[in-house]
Structure 1
Amino acid sequence: MTTGSPSHPPLATAAASAPRRSILLSAYAVSPERGSEPGLGWQVATRLARYHDVTVLCSPEVEGDDYRGEISAYAREHGAVAGLTFHYVEPPWLSRWLQRPGGSPLRPLYYVGYAAWQRAAYREACRLHARVGFDLAHQFNLSGYREPGYLWRLGLPFVWGPIGGASNIPWSCFAGFPPRERLFYGARNLVNRLHMHAGPTSRRCRRAAAVARSHGLIWGISADDCRMVNTCWRCPAEAMLETGAAVQPAARVRTYDGRRPLRLVWSGVHIGRKALPVLLEALARLEADPANPAVELVVLGEGPQTPRWQALARRLGVAECVTWAGRLPRDQAMAYVAEADLFVHTSLLEGTPHAVIEALSLGVPVLCHDACGMGAAVDARCGGKVALRDADTSVQGFARWVGRLARDPAELQQLSRGALARADELSWDRKVEQIVAGYATLLGSTTKCEART
């Protein structure tokens, strides 16, 4: 079935020199109404169809969510988009059993169910390829490296990614975690190493990477992901963030003058790996020196650690400068971010947090750890980064950056301009231009291809 026209404006420039080709895109989760992986699938697939004839292999529903119904509703409202076809692969019984909604005790076997869907998708891909004759296969989402799918077996130029999941939380950062998270992320660190280097997952990833090495391409989200591809699978990898920035009507250059308190905003689920205590302790160090400028912090979100973190703020003596806004509708949360001078992201483990991209698109500089996708998204033009080594290094680094920017309005304003420029570089349209350019390199194209509008 063909789907509705995307609601974004046409691209300003053609992405690459390439004739229209027939592309097979494996995107397990796709929806026009959602963020995260389903939103990623939708944003990229609809834009790719401007350049190529794209067939998307996807699941009609994931964990009870009716993605096929959401795509159909969008198509009825907006009409069809030329060159885009969704081919739905029904989840086999193993997928339905192991990928139940909610807190199923089978949740640790999620990827087993996902692999079963990938096998079914490959069988459909073989039938479609015999009829259509695709020029290139792209294993797209989910973005975790543990599941390369099977499209690399088709004998076509093969693209995989962007993939993530290689980063681990340093063991020295576990001290502030509640016991359950300490156990979970400790086990994840160990299993992650096993998946990279040994076992069935590693062997299949190596085979997929071998195909990409001979006539293909792998994109990695972060430096850790690219390093894993290089060292574990002996394959080159190019960097690409998995998410993109959208145009924000409220975007503007910050106008902090140094005479009022510096406004910080933090957003996330209140769990251990989000590491808000790093920022609270950093504020306590700033408060200890009366020479430092005043700072205000708005904390968005809630979770099991909320009472503990509020108690910590009181114990550290910073409770008066912290506003706990709670979990809010997206537009209200974005309003807080739009009024901030600096978005602070203390998380220890992420892909590419969409909250970081949204802050940049509003012109809000970002302060984060130099790790995972946020470390790749933020550069010296649009924010500050702190080495992820241990808790004390993090606290010192965040305190130093906040104090520095509170004392230097001119630098903060320059970073705000850089945030808007960086958001443009990370836009969905630019991302698809990069993907199309990668396709063109693999397919050896020389003819100009104009984007369909």
Structure 2
Amino acid sequence: MQSYDQVNFAGRPVPGRRRVLMSAYACGPGMGSEPGAGWAFAEAAARHSDVWVITRRRFEPQIRAALAADPALASRLHPVYLDLPNWCLRLKKQHRDVYWYYPLWQRLVGQKALELHREVQFDVAHHVTFASDWMPCGLTALPAAVPLVWGPVGGASYVPVRLLHWLGLRGALIELGRRAVTETFRRIFADRMARRAHLVVGLNEDVRRRFADAPAVVVEPNAVVEAGQVAVVRSGPPSRVRTAVFVGRLVSWKGTRLAVDALSHPAAGNWRLEFIGSGPDRRWIEAEAARRGLADRVSCRGQLPREDVLKALADADAMLFPTLHDSAPWAVAEACAAGLPVICVDLAGPPVFVRRTSDGSSHIVDVGPGMPARLAAALRDTGASPRPAPSSRWSSSRIPMLLDAWYGQAGQVPANRIAAGYVTSDAAEVTGLVPNVS
């Protein structure tokens, strides 16, 4: 094996420092969602390791500026830009084109990973983005001796059949089609990747359950909300009429119809609801609110600049977000950072944020008959409670310690691939890994 001290591939390697190869399809400093998560994990890994991150050239200007502003980081974080040929890029015109472009890009990642490994001899590999558990991972091309951390990934959350009526006919058909396609690809790609990975990081409990046979599993959302990023000072005194906000795309699987129904129940009689976002359900929301006599209490504010969204979170009394299969919605983490109580249903990602952050003012509503009435009751109870303190649980400061624990755990998985997984417990959720006996 080539000595790390002799490597001159990029930067100045430090003897004894862990060498990490990271794959981040999206990796953009100062950006949100997937690009922001990709950068946050790459930067955090560089706190204690030398990191090579494979990403796309579209993020080069932002990465170059960030590294120029931080020479110490630049000495430990080495971007490797990778794109398909220009003719492929020209064909990639619409959002859905990512579903053919991304697998091809991952194949290229596998080739580049082998090339880099011959130069550097990595100690661990980490697939960060896409956070999708049914798409391929190019880092599986590396030798099996290189510990692989896969995630955070999600997608194994589906709307229960008994709740499909909340999606409308078109939404239900789309959800059934999504389930069929993603489960097929999950069997083709993901099950093999989970067996190859030394550690699977799931965005929520659905991922842990789906890949329970993987050598090891932890649950951690990829949201990054810095302390102080969300203003928490109200612009005015609280009103007798309480305000709940819904932040996200206006599509039925995010629970828009459940939210409107909840406002029609007497328990939510002194609440108004603001939808922030755009999407095909806006017309339905406005028409249904008028039909139910809620036009003066339900409003759609459309897509807002980020600063206006954060102000809305600061001014609101609660977030009503009864999504039915969001893997790890950042809006919920932002609400927690603003000290805003969250009301959600016990599905997919939001309960992870609430259980690890809440002081009891938030509410997780059980799935089943009567959900709108129970959401309304949760609004009533929330309105009677003081606003909780802002939470820093989801800031980037948690990630270096997480990665150090994950990389150490991945390196300890024995060759015979023990069947018992590992999950984070409530008592040791940051670095504690406990046997999965559930």
Give me the TM-score of the superposition, normalised by structure 2. 0.82
1:228 pairs with 2:210:
yes
Query: How many residues are aligned here?
Result: 395
1:277-327 alpha-carbon deviations (Å, 9 max, x no partner): 21221111126xxxx762222221232221221111122122222343222
Code of the residue aligned with 1:86 in structure 2: it is P
Letter in 2 for 1:190: A
Structure ranking higher in helix proportion: 1
Higher relative contact order (CA 8 A, sep 6+): 1
Cα distance, 1:83 vs structure 2: 0.3
Alignment pair present for 1:267 and 2:257: no
Letter of the aligned partner of 1:381 in structure 2? D
Q: Distance in 2 between matches of 1:178 and 1:328?
A: 26
Q: Please tell me whether residue 51 in structure 1 is matched to residue 51 in structure 2.
A: no
1:208 to 187, 193, 199: 193
The residue identity in structure 2 corresponding to 1:440 is: G
Equivalent in the alignment of 1:428: 396
Question: Which residue among 374, 380, 383 is the counterpart of 1:397?
Answer: 374
Secondary structure in structure 1 of the residue aligned to 2:126: strand
2:270 corresponds to: 294
Give the structure 2 partner of residue 101 of structure 1: 93
Change (3 A) 1:220 1:250: closer
List per-residue Cα deviations over 1:370-400 (Å, max 9, x = no partner): 11111211125251112234xx432122112
Residue 246 (structure 1) aligned with residue 226 (structure 2): yes
Residues 243 and 352 in structure 1, CA contact (< 8 A), matched pair in contact too: yes
Letter in 1 for 2:60: R
In angstroms, what is the RMSD of aligned CA positions? 2.9
Q: What is the alpha-carbon distance in structure 2 between the residues aligned to residue 353 and residue 371 of structure 1?
A: 12
SS of 1:399's equivalent?
helix
Are residues 384 and 257 of structure 1, via their aligned partners in 2, closer, same or farther at CA, if it must alter by over 3 Å?
Answer: farther
| In 2: Cα distance, 1:234 partner to 1:217 partner | 8
Quote how far apart the aligned CAs of 1:170 are: 1.7
Matched, 1:388 2:367: yes
**In structure 2, how many angstroms separate the alpha carbons of the residues matched to 1:95 and 1:349?**
32
- 1:316 corresponds in structure 2 to 292
Counterpart in 1 of 2:6? none
**Tell me, which stretches of 5 or more residues in structure 1 are unaligned?**
4-17, 61-65, 445-453
The one-letter code matched in structure 2 to 1:20 is R
Deviation, 1:254, is 8.5
CA contact (8 A) 2:24 2:53 kept: yes
Number of the residue aligned with 1:8? none
Judge conservation of contact 2:20–2:50 (CA < 8 Å) in 1.
yes
The Cα shift of 1:133 comes to 1.4
Q: SS of 1:209's equivalent?
A: helix
CA distance in structure 1 between the partners assigned to 2:25 and 2:230 by the alignment: 33
- How far does the alpha carbon of each residue in 1:51-99 deviate from its partner, in whole angstroms, 9 at most, with x for none? 1100001121xxxxx222332244445556230000112225796477x
User: Are the equivalent residues in 1 in contact too, given 2:230–2:310 (CA < 8 A)?
Assistant: no
The reply to whether residue 190 of structure 1 matches residue 196 of structure 2 is no
SS in 1 for 2:23: strand
Q: How does 1:118-129 map to 2 (within 5 A)?
A: 118-129=106-117
Q: Given residue 38 of structure 1, which amino acid in structure 2 is its aligned partner? A: P
**Distance of aligned partners of 1:163 and 1:395 in 2 relative to their CA distance in 1, 3 Å threshold:** same
Kindly provide the amino acid, as one letter, of the partner of residue 39 in structure 2.
Answer: W
Cα–Cα, structure 1 residues 401 and 255, in superposed 2: closer, same or farther, change >3 Å? farther
CA distance in 1, matches of 2:30, 2:246: 25
Alpha-carbon distance change, 254 to 227 in structure 1, aligned in 2, over 3 angstroms: farther
1:21-69 deviation per Cα after TM superposition (whole angstroms, max 9, x unaligned): 1111111111114221111111111121111100001121xxxxx2223
Partner of 1:20: 17
Structure 2 counterpart SS, 1:165: coil
User: Larger deviation: 324-333 or 434-443?
Assistant: 434-443
TM-superposed CA distance for 1:145, in Å, is 1.0
Secondary structure in structure 2 of the residue aligned to 1:358: helix
Q: Indicate which of 313, 316, 323 corresponds to 1:347.
A: 323
- Residue 72 of structure 1: which of 64, 68, 82 is its match? 64
Match of 1:305 in 2: 281
> Aligned in 2, Cα 1:226/1:103: closer, same or farther, shift over 3 Å?
closer
Structure 1 Cα separation of the partners of residues 69 and 381 of structure 2? 50
Q: How much does 1:361 deviate?
A: 0.6
Among the aligned pairs, what percent are the same residue?
A: 28
Shift of 1:192: 3.1
1:328 is aligned to 2:304: yes
Aligned partner (choices 116, 132, 152) of residue 162 of structure 1? 152
Q: Does structure 1 retain, via aligned residues, the 8 Å contact 2:341–2:382? A: no
Aligned mates of 2:363, 2:132 — CA distance in 1: 27
Unaligned 5+ runs, structure 2: 1-8, 413-438
Partner of 1:13: none
SS in 1 for 2:300: strand
Q: Do structure 1's residue 149 and structure 2's residue 137 form an aligned pair?
A: yes
Distance 1:22 1:184, change over 3 A: same
Question: Measured at CA, do residues 166 and 103 of structure 1 come closer, stay the same or move farther in structure 2, by a change above 3 Å?
Answer: closer
Map residues 73-92 of structure 1 onto 2, 5 A cutoff.
73-76=65-68, 81=73, 82-92=75-85
CA–CA separation in structure 1 for the residues paired with 2:46 and 2:263: 48
In the other structure, the counterpart of 1:450 is: none
Q: Are 2:233 and 2:314, in contact at CA under 8 Å, matched by a contact in 1? A: no
Asked whether the 8 Å contact 2:125–2:148 carries over to 1, the reply is yes
Change (3 A) 1:319 1:125: same
Going from structure 1 to structure 2, the CA distance change for 1:259 and 1:29 (only over 3 Å counts) comes to closer
Report Cα offsets for 1:138-185 as digits up to 9, x if no partner.
122111112342423323112111111101112233324354433221
Query: Which of the residues 334, 338, 344 maps onto 1:368?
Result: 344
Tell me, what secondary structure is at the counterpart of 1:347? Answer: coil
